[in-house]
Structure 1
Amino acid sequence: MELRHLRYFIAVAEERNFGRAAERLHMAQPPLSRAIRQLEAELGLALFERTTRRVNLTPAGAAYLDQAREVLEAVDTAGVRARRVAEGREGRLTVGCVGSATYSLLPLLARALRAELPKVEVGFRGEMLAPDQVSALHDGMLDLGLLRTIGGSAAGLRLTVLREDRLLVAVPQDHAFVTRARVVVDDLAGEDLIMHGSSTGSAMHRLVTRLCEEAGFAANVAHEVAETSTLLTFVAAGLGIAVVPEPTTLLGVPGVVHVPLAGVRSVPLVAATRDEDNPVMDRTLEILGRISGGPGPVPASTRPLRLGDH
């Protein structure tokens, strides 16, 4: 049995006439009549009661019509869904984000995906450090990572630089730096610094530590935290200051003032995905490029992105 036999049967059942059904199917009547007889022979039962003027369904034919319609509808639905998946308009996507991307880019991405790819089921995991995201990408727990640098192996990953975020110094509202137009790295000497934990492989921890070392002093880490929101809360409480990417200003934590860090100081925001064919991911990266200001692919021949490579 072929699907065309079901289509022929449905046309005859709905038209109740072989001639009209043949016209509807854009075929001659004799081949249509033969196809219906072949279908009845294969089933071993009569689907129609034929008269000189009209064709009526038998009780078995009426029951078969319901099932035939369901089969063709399922086939058509499967085809539509397969095309949507192939075009990247349907599927599943799990996104991980570092803290600053959680507050800045993630809301924009969520709205854009809902508007442009409503058939894509999306899950988000915010406040994930880069090493955790890389591990989750390799393990298949994440499909897309928004992170600062690649911690660990970038083998098998496709990297896209989304933007460069300026570095600021977050200070309590009563701190001496509040009156300055900017601060330099040397000003951080002797200050109590609040950072993400060194044991977690935090990109920002490595960056701030390196900046201090290059300036000739060791960073005085007073507190280590797991989340960016906690870091800024500690700053507001007067427990220290912190070097942060500019998007963290969107948190709007009361009692925190952000002062620019002098010099060409920025940190990249990178999209990391598995290097595999994924139409949904291709569309998502296009969307990310629009809402973040334009991505740039990282050639496969380049070394993994790390702080200081820009």
Structure 2
Amino acid sequence: MELRHLRYFVAVAEERHFGRAAQRLHMAQPPLSQQIKALETELGVQLLERSTRRVDLTPAGERYLERARAVLEAVDVAAGEARRVQDGEVGHLRIGFTGSATYELLPRLARRLREQLPGLTLELTGEMLTPRQVRALKTHEIDLGFLRPPVRVPDLEVHVLRNEPLVAVLPETHPLAERQSVVLGDLRDEVFISYPSHQASVTYDAVLSACGRVGFSPKEIHEVAETSTLVSFVAAGLGVALVPASVQHLQITGAVYRPISDVTHEVGLAMAHRSGDRTPHMDRVLAQVRSLLEE
């Protein structure tokens, strides 16, 4: 039995006439009659009662019509889903975001993808420092990562999206919080809150470099793994911090953000995926990312 036999039968059953069914199917009537007779012979069941004027369904034919319609509908649905997968409209993607991108890029991208690619299933994980994302990409725990370059791993393809300056995070009670901008050298005696040094944090290295360019190295650094914890520590008065500008989207009572006036130090944001692991739906996501950042 072939799908065309089901389509032939459904056409005859719905038209109740071989001639009209043949016209609907764009074929001659005799071959259609022969195919329906062959179907009945194969099933060992009479599906149709034929007369000179019309065709009626037997009780077995009524039930077979229900099942045949369901089969054909399922086949059409499967074909449509296959086309959408091929076109990148359907798929499953696991995405990791570095701490700062968690509070700015993640919500914007999630909204965009929900609007533009509603058939895409997403797993979004925030607060993933770059080394953790690199490991997760290599072990296939995530498919796409938004992280801080440089990333020098042979099996990963990395695309730099933008660069952003460091800004200062201060307790709102800090004397410098009243200023519109901060001179980095004025923070030389402060306790710094920063990302972990032992995890090869790009931002940690950028903070030390920025301080070094104005002639000091932080005397004391408290290390935390998550951006929200870092800003909360500052809000609690435990120290000050330098973070990428996008962290300003994270608003925590007691902490204020101020631009730095005496030194410009930027950190990059990049997206990374496994080399040769591009899928149609990932290509669509990458296009949406670029469009979002251009806006």
Q: Residue 300 of structure 1 corresponds to which residue in structure 2?
A: none
Instruction: Specify whether residues 108 and 121 from structure 1 end up closer, same or farther in structure 2 by C-alpha distance, changes over 3 A only.
Output: same
Q: Residue 227 of structure 1 corresponds to which residue in structure 2?
A: 226
Q: Residue 280 of structure 2 corresponds to which residue in structure 1?
A: 279
CA shift at 1:121, angstroms?
1.2
| 1:40-189 mapped onto 2 (5 Å cutoff) | 40-149=40-149, 154-178=153-177, 179=179, 181-184=181-184, 186-189=185-188
C-alpha distance in structure 2 between counterparts of 1:69 and 1:145, whole Å: 44
CA shift at 1:86, angstroms?
1.0
C-alpha distance in structure 1 between counterparts of 2:230 and 2:29, whole Å: 78
CA shift at 1:213, angstroms?
4.5
| Length, aligned pairs only | 292
TM-score relative to the length of structure 2: 0.91
Task: Assess if the C-alpha contact under 8 Å between 2:206 and 2:265 holds in 1.
Answer: no
Summarize deviations over 1:66-110 as a string: whole Å, max 9, x none.
Answer: 221111111100111011111111111222111211110111111
Task: Assess if the C-alpha contact under 8 Å between 1:208 and 1:219 holds in 2.
Answer: no
Task: Assess if the C-alpha contact under 8 Å between 1:94 and 1:141 holds in 2.
Answer: yes
Q: Letter of the aligned partner of 2:285 in structure 1?
A: T
Contiguous gaps of at least 5 residues in structure 2:
none
C-alpha distance in structure 2 between counterparts of 1:81 and 1:8, whole Å: 24
Task: Assess if the C-alpha contact under 8 Å between 1:162 and 1:288 holds in 2.
Answer: no
Q: Residue 238 of structure 1 corresponds to which residue in structure 2?
A: 237
Q: Does 1:258 align with 2:257?
A: yes
Q: Residue 35 of structure 1 corresponds to which residue in structure 2?
A: 35
Q: Residue 269 of structure 2 corresponds to which residue in structure 1?
A: 269
Q: Letter of the aligned partner of 2:165 in structure 1?
A: R
Summarize deviations over 1:47-78 as a string: whole Å, max 9, x none.
Answer: 21111111112222222212211111111001
C-alpha distance in structure 2 between counterparts of 1:237 and 1:35, whole Å: 81
| 1:208-227 mapped onto 2 (5 Å cutoff) | 208-213=207-212, 217-227=216-226
SS at match of 1:272: strand
Summarize deviations over 1:232-266 as a string: whole Å, max 9, x none.
Answer: 11112221111101111111222323222334321
C-alpha distance in structure 2 between counterparts of 1:70 and 1:136, whole Å: 42
C-alpha distance in structure 1 between counterparts of 2:38 and 2:175, whole Å: 92
Q: Residue 292 of structure 2 corresponds to which residue in structure 1?
A: 291
Task: Assess if the C-alpha contact under 8 Å between 1:11 and 1:21 holds in 2.
Answer: yes
Q: CA RMSD in A?
A: 1.9
CA shift at 1:279, angstroms?
1.1
TM-score relative to the length of structure 1: 0.87
C-alpha distance in structure 2 between counterparts of 1:41 and 1:219, whole Å: 89
C-alpha distance in structure 1 between counterparts of 2:183 and 2:291, whole Å: 32
CA shift at 1:217, angstroms?
4.1
Q: Residue 198 of structure 2 corresponds to which residue in structure 1?
A: 199
Instruction: State the identity as a percent.
Output: 50
SS at match of 2:137: helix
Summarize deviations over 1:106-134 as a string: whole Å, max 9, x none.
Answer: 11111111111111111211111111111
Contiguous gaps of at least 5 residues in structure 1:
295-310
SS at match of 2:85: helix
